[in-house]
Amino acid sequence: MSNIRAGFSLLRAVYVLMREGVVTALPEEGAPPPVRIAKSVARLVERRRAKDQLQSENLSKALNRLGPSWVKLGQFLATRPDVVGASIALDLELLQDQMEPFGVDQAKQMVAATLGHPVEEMFSSFSPAIAAASVAQVHKATIDHEGDETGHYEVAVKVIRPGVRARFHRDLTTFYSAARLMEKYIESAQRLQPVLVVDMLAKSAKLEMDLRLEAAAFSEMGENTADDEGFRVPGVDWERTGRDCVTMDWVDGTKFTHVEELSAAGHDLAAIANALNQSFLRHVLRDGFFHADMHPGNLFVDQSSDIVAVDLGIAGRMGKAERRYLAEILYGFITRDYMRVAEVHFEAGYVPDHHDVASFAQAIRAIGEPIHGQEADKVSMARLLTLLFEVTELFDMKTQPQLLLLQKTMVVVEGVARKLDPKFNMWKSAEPVVAHYVQRLIGPLGKLEEARDGLHAVGRMVQLAPDMATRAEKLSHEIDEMSRNGVRLDKLTIEAIGKAEAQHSRSGRVALWVIALGVVALVWNHIV
């Protein structure tokens, strides 16, 4: 029953994408037969106005029509240009996550349930929603405080959308059905592992839908940036934070979306653009923890010209090794040391060692040289990353999931900075920060830190040695037993595997027929 329901849900999604002009905008070249057939059908049902709009606008409208889970899918796929392509990933990055707000009474009920106290006890005022997205919405509230001049201070309360977890869980069934069909019937999609992509989406969304984790992210970033100039995040009120709501300091400032207002207020836009880029790079290289959703709607400038970042539902992490490799790669591009950039790719294991380092350095040079000597407004990080994806694919470089979110955010930060300052040059801005951390990470201090980490690892190995020896002896006995008697499955296990395979095959066929018949019926009704 759930498979049939997923089939109908997938059918509706296909139809909405057709109506909003998304399917007809898919590229023809290299498209598999199902896509070409879908494009032909889509031309019959596409709205007239969809032809006159940008692809990004059509995509945004389609996903918002389909609901919160699909918006979240779009946002997630924006971080996977290896799956959807660089062009579509950029369109998805422009997706406006704007949903109809739910009522203030519902919000109060959610807050009271998660905090265990009525809203009136926790807040002296609580406004209707001032912003609503796919997962949550934000309310402005006040808290009585005798130490404040006004007797109270203002806070922002982010509240989870009612039923969003259950809705997302249901829609995941549809996403998995689509992913399995792609893997089974579209050969070119198999290398992209769409089922694994849905697995990653499910994990990401599960974390984002527990607002205690976002509160923890704010707390961690607040500690990391406490001594930084020009950047901060709002503080968290832990007493008024739970699974379904997070309460933060209210931000008095101007959004990055209002560039004219920022200029009229006397802010130095070029300095703010530079501060944004350098702050982001410090978070990545110094802290290994960065805000991964830095679009203009999540960034404010306060009266002191400090940048204030909100909405930390999506954050990224980088280990020490990845930070070192990243710093050296960026520094190599900045200093035009392409051989070192190539060597780092091999040292990190990103490129298989059967390839020639010098040949890879030549390919890297073809990417890096065009960015030097050009005017700032002609140097695009998005273009550079697109070329890097293409070149590394030629050298069998596998997708590095830990770098995808970083690369996506770098592109967004550059775009935001360039809206403030059209002459912004990301490379010149990055150079002092990257150079500092390259010297720190690979200089004498970095070597001492590596030695210290190595000693800790050795100490840990010594502690675990007795347990490891016991496990190794047990594994040796089990392998010896299997070599003599083979691997055996009991009768119940064999029967269960057979039933599962049969059910999976039937479900796939049923879903395909449901989708095919449904599309035909919808098109027929539309024509008639």
Give the C-alpha separation, 271 to 305, whole Å.
Answer: 9
Based on the domain organization, do 399 and 425 belong to the same domain? yes
Based on the domain organization, do 310 and 246 belong to the same domain? no
pLDDT given for residue 379 in this prediction: 65
Based on the domain organization, do 305 and 402 belong to the same domain? yes
Domain end position, chosen among 215, 250, 285: 250
Mean pLDDT in residue range 156-183: 88
pLDDT digits (tens, 9 = 90+) for 128-144: 999 888 889 999 999 98
Based on the domain organization, do 278 and 307 belong to the same domain? yes
* Three-state DSSP state, 194: helix
Who's near 136: CB < 8 A, 6+ residues apart?
158, 159, 160, 161, 164, 211, 313
Place of tokens 């010098």: 358
pLDDT given for residue 207 in this prediction: 81
Based on the domain organization, do 162 and 258 belong to the same domain? no
- Are 44 and 79 within 8 A, CB to CB? no
Q: Is residue 292 part of a domain?
A: yes
Domain end position, chosen among 442, 457, 478: 442
Based on the domain organization, do 397 and 496 belong to the same domain? no
CA angle (125 as vertex; 120, 126 as ends), nearest 5: 90
% the chain with pLDDT above 90: 30
Most confidently predicted of 266-275, 389-398, 420-429, 516-525: 266-275
* Positions marked active-site: 293
* Three-state DSSP state, 300: strand
pLDDT given for residue 486 in this prediction: 60
Q: Is residue 372 part of a domain?
A: yes
pLDDT digits (tens, 9 = 90+) for 367-413: 888 877 676 666 666 667 667 766 777 787 766 666 777 877 888 88
Give the N- to C-terminal CA distance of the chain in Å, as an integer.
31
Give the C-alpha separation, 513 to 500, whole Å.
Answer: 20
pLDDT digits (tens, 9 = 90+) for 263-293: 999 999 999 999 999 999 999 999 999 998 8
Helices (DSSP H) in 67-163: which residue ranges?
A: 68-77, 81-84, 86-93, 104-115, 119-122
Q: Is residue 239 part of a domain?
A: yes
Dig out the tokens for 125 from the structure: 């005022």
Dig out the tokens for 456 from the structure: 């800790």
CA angle (36 as vertex; 31, 40 as ends), nearest 5: 155
Most confidently predicted of 220-234, 383-397, 446-460, 490-504: 220-234
Based on the domain organization, do 324 and 428 belong to the same domain? yes
Based on the domain organization, do 154 and 221 belong to the same domain? yes
pLDDT digits (tens, 9 = 90+) for 37-90: 777 777 777 776 655 555 666 777 788 788 778 887 887 777 666 666 666 776
Greater model confidence, 143 or 195 = 143
Confidence of residue 502 (pLDDT cuts 50, 70, 90): low
Confidence of residue 456 (pLDDT cuts 50, 70, 90): low
Give the full edge-to-edge strand order of the sheet including 231-232.
231-232, 307-309, 299-301, 254-255
Q: Is residue 461 part of a domain?
A: no
The strand pair at 254-255 and 152-160 is best described as unpaired
Dig out the tokens for 109 from the structure: 């009920």
Domain end position, chosen among 206, 230, 250: 250
Based on the domain organization, do 409 and 299 belong to the same domain? yes
Give the C-alpha separation, 40 to 27, whole Å.
Answer: 13
Whether the pLDDT of residue 513 is over 60: the answer is no
Q: Is residue 103 part of a domain?
A: yes
pLDDT given for residue 528 in this prediction: 47
Closest CA to 282 of 108, 434, 118: 434
Who's near 255: CB < 8 A, 6+ residues apart?
296, 297, 299, 300
Dig out the tokens for 363 from the structure: 């390919």
Based on the domain organization, do 316 and 438 belong to the same domain? yes
**103-112, 122-131, 417-426: segment of lowest average pLDDT:** 417-426
Closest CA to 192 of 201, 183, 200, 184: 183
Closest CA to 232 of 284, 185, 291: 291
pLDDT given for residue 446 in this prediction: 57
Closest CA to 100 of 22, 163, 161: 161
Q: Is residue 26 part of a domain?
A: yes
Q: Is residue 526 part of a domain?
A: yes
- Are 211 and 273 within 8 A, CB to CB? no
Whether the pLDDT of residue 500 is over 60: the answer is no
Mean pLDDT of the chain: 79
pLDDT given for residue 451 in this prediction: 55
Based on the domain organization, do 265 and 242 belong to the same domain? no
pLDDT digits (tens, 9 = 90+) for 286-317: 999 999 888 888 999 999 999 999 999 888 89
- Are 10 and 172 within 8 A, CB to CB? no
Dig out the tokens for 110 from the structure: 């959610």
Confidence of residue 518 (pLDDT cuts 50, 70, 90): low
pLDDT given for residue 1 in this prediction: 56
Mean pLDDT in residue range 211-225: 96
**5-19, 229-243, 444-458: segment of lowest average pLDDT:** 444-458
Total domains present in the chain: 3
Q: Is residue 122 part of a domain?
A: yes
Show the domain range for 184.
Answer: 98-170+180-250
Give the C-alpha separation, 252 to 258, whole Å.
Answer: 14
Q: Which residues of 271-286 are buried (b: 16+ CB within 10 A; e: fewer)?
A: ebbbbbbbbbbbbbbb
Give the C-alpha separation, 299 to 382, whole Å.
Answer: 21
Phi then psi for residue 400, to 5 deg, are -105, 95
pLDDT given for residue 523 in this prediction: 47
Based on the domain organization, do 235 and 306 belong to the same domain? no
